[in-house]
Structure formats: structure tokens, C-alpha cells
Structure 1
């Protein structure tokens, strides 16, 4: 029997194998051939093997500005953005298959054809799947806050993340973040302020709310319980 191989670093998610609904199963079967990027795996089910970068012009059939959303959930944000901006290309990165199925279903209903999905661990997508400097905007909206002290090491936004984000973004590209957990917002800002590859693109304590971010049920829930929504925006500096 083969010995199981595990990642040597914690990831920002716990991937549970929940059942999909019949509609989600149908959406996966019907739409994944078009929307889902084939990913060569490394050590784990959601890993990306080094040296297997895609060619965006080949994937989307054109050359256009590329926006990547990390942790796209059920796809409400990325589908709305792709529908509103047919001149841009979009990539949704998510590890939960039910959310990806819902994203495909909604994208097909909206006639969205400039969107693709990757079922993979986001840092590995930025480091291995996407060519260096290929991304114009990178979005990280409401990542899991891992609010217990013993779990904060799982948070996505950490110094290692800035390295792979800088690799994927073109010089002048934009990194947009949002969270409704104040201590995570503080951590995000500290990490990005200390990253040599990024400059602040806002004045004052926090960035203005990104106009392109739709008000999702997740954000409404945070507002209902009295949490402040914190936005941050950074620019990739030239090497």
C-alpha cells in the first residue's frame, strides 16, 4: 500500500466531503467540461503540480485583463463581475465542489463565457498554475478568519502569500481584500504594509469599499451582527 503524502504546511481550509444536490451533480456533469480548468495534482487532492502553468490566451481564447478571485464560494461575486465585464477574463479559485457547481450553474444561466474555475489550493494556483505576471487583479473577499488563537496559523493572508501573489500579479496590478473580522483586518494590513512587493493604494486607515464587490449574503450577515467591513487595496510594485 502506498504511504499517504501530506502537505508540509497548513492550508487555509478544511475540505469536507459533503454530498452535492442532484442539481449540483447535473451542473457539474453538464458544465465542468467548459468551465473547469484541468489541474495536474501534486501531493494532495487540491494541489497543483509545479511546472504545469496554463496559457491564459489559450484557455480564454483571447488576450484580455485577468481577474482572479480566491475563495469564490458559491460564485455570486465572480459571476456578477464576469457578466458585467465581458471585455475581461475571470478565474474563480475554490476547493469546495458544491460551490463550484453552483457557480457553473449560475454562470451558464447568465450566459457568462469569460469565466473559468479552478478546484485547487489558491497559493498553489498563484505559484504554479498561472504564469508569472499574468493577473491584473486579485481578489480575496471574506476569507475564513480562523478566529481561534490555535487556528490563526491557517489564515491565508500571511507573508508567504504575499510572495506568490506578487509573482502572479503584473507590475501595477491590484490586490483587493475585505474582511468583517477586525483582528484579521489588522493582520492583513500589517502583512501587506510589510511586503516589499506591494504599496498601499489608499489613504487613511482603510480603503473605500470596492464598488465592484456585490453585497453577498455573507457580508449581510456580518453587518447584521454589527461587524465593520474592512477593505484594503494594494498595488504590485515594479521589480
Structure 2
């Protein structure tokens, strides 16, 4: 019997595509177009329910897009309104809070980005049920979106609610809120844009406050230079409820793009 020693081993295979091209989110939209690097997220391809799949199949071609890094987004065309201010929300979970914010403020477009397929389907389902026309769903890496696909000065706000805290010290380099991320966001945000972050991890909250305070492009809205009370515009999220149940203190940060 021939030995298998010395035969080249097959490389990692791309994730299986769940939907036909263009009919739903891609499992790896940027593919090999961009460099491999440490990411602040882990793609989660958990089970998609029948309702979520139906929403993705029906609404993704109209309201969803892959973050492939190969084109510049025209936000006026994407939302169908050249006058609509657009905020970027990174990481929306199952989309309940995003849908609430979109319903409460239909005069603002929400560009909601995540990599969780069930959450993408659920947000599209909620948007349909609530008659929302001001939500668009992006699938993929927000870093590539900011760096390659968003025109300078085109965003009116940035929301990062309960990002992965990467609590182990050796993993904290994966946290999203780093100076390099704030550099990219500063280019995409117009002057006066509101940056709103929230976390229930105390050390991550302190890190967020430190890096935002140190960055010359942002100014704290709080006179004392500290954390902000939760504004009424941010609904309680599922992750927030989980943190509160564990006795975690929730911290909000509100900064302005100078």
C-alpha cells in the first residue's frame, strides 16, 4: 500500500455557502482580497431558523450587502435618500435594540454590521414586521468596511454596544476599541458625529475611556471627562441584561468627533 508520507496536505477549505451568490450573506465576503490579521470577532454560524432564513432570502438582495472591500458604498443610493444621516452600528446581536432605535428615529439611517447569520436574518425580519425602511445590514468585518468602503466624512455617528470583551489578558489585543480603529473611524465620521460605546466589562470600559480620551479626534461630552448616563435613545440590550444579571456595572461612553 503506498505511503501517504510526503503528500501535501489540503489547506483549509472555505466555509460552505448557505445561500446562492447574491441571495444571502456570504460566509467569508472579503475572502483572500485582504490581509489576514488578528480580528476582534469570531464568526458564528449557529442554526438559522425557518423565519430567519425566509427573511434573508426575501430581503437580503434589497437591504443586505457583503463587506467585500472591493467597492465604495454610496450611502445615498444604499438608503435611497441623499439627505438621510447614517450611523454605523457594529455588532447588533439579534437586532432587537437596533430595530427599536430605527423605529424611534426614522429620520436616521442605521448601517448595522455583524457576522452572525441568525442575527442578520432576525433583524431583517424585525425590519419587515415593523415597516422599517431605515435599516441596512452589512455582513463582514467592520474594519474593512471603514477602511475600504466608506467615504471620508460620510457617517453621522458610530455605535458599539457590548463588543466582545476578550477578557483573557493574552486576547485583549483583539478588542475592537483600539487607537488604530479610532483612526479609521475618525476618517469616516463627519465633524460633530456622536460616538456611543457601552460595555459591562469594567476593565474594557476603562480602556475605552482611556483610548478615546487620548485620541485627538474625539472629545468627551461629559464635563467631568468620565462615563455618561445611559441615554434614553439606547434600549436595554440582551447582552446588557445578561451582564446586569451577573452583577456587572454597565458603562456608557459618549464622545464627539471634533
Normalising by structure 2, what TM-score?
0.84
> Match for residue 61 of structure 1?
80
Moved over 2 A (4+): 1-9, 16-19
Describe how 1:171-210 pairs up with structure 2 within 5 A: 171-204=191-224, 205-210=226-231
TM-aligned CA distance change 1:219 to 1:16, over 3 Å:
closer
Q: Distance in 2 between matches of 1:130 and 1:152?
A: 27
> Match for residue 45 of structure 1?
none
- Residues 154-209 of structure 1: CA deviation (Å, up to 9, x unaligned): 10000111011101110111100000000000110111111111111112321121
Q: Which moved more, 1:195-204 or 1:139-148?
A: 195-204
Q: Distance in 2 between matches of 1:109 and 1:69?
A: 20
Q: Distance in 2 between matches of 1:97 and 1:140?
A: 19
Query: CA shift at 1:38, angstroms?
Result: 4.6
Query: CA shift at 1:74, angstroms?
Result: 1.0
Uncovered stretches (5+) of structure 1, i.e. residues with no partner: 42-47
> Match for residue 44 of structure 1?
none
Secondary structure of the residue aligned to 2:99 is: helix
> Match for residue 180 of structure 2?
160
Secondary structure of the residue aligned to 1:171 is: strand
- Residues 20-58 of structure 1: CA deviation (Å, up to 9, x unaligned): 12222111111112210254x2xxxxxx23xx1111111
1:139 to 149, 153, 159: 159
- Residues 61-88 of structure 1: CA deviation (Å, up to 9, x unaligned): 1121111111011111211111111112
Query: CA shift at 1:3, angstroms?
Result: 7.2
Secondary structure of the residue aligned to 1:37 is: strand
Describe how 1:23-172 pairs up with structure 2 within 5 A: 23-39=51-67, 41=68, 48-49=69-70, 52-62=71-81, 63-172=83-192
Which has the greater radius of gyration?
2
> Match for residue 213 of structure 1?
234
**Within the alignment, does 1:224 sit opposite 2:245 as a pair?**
yes
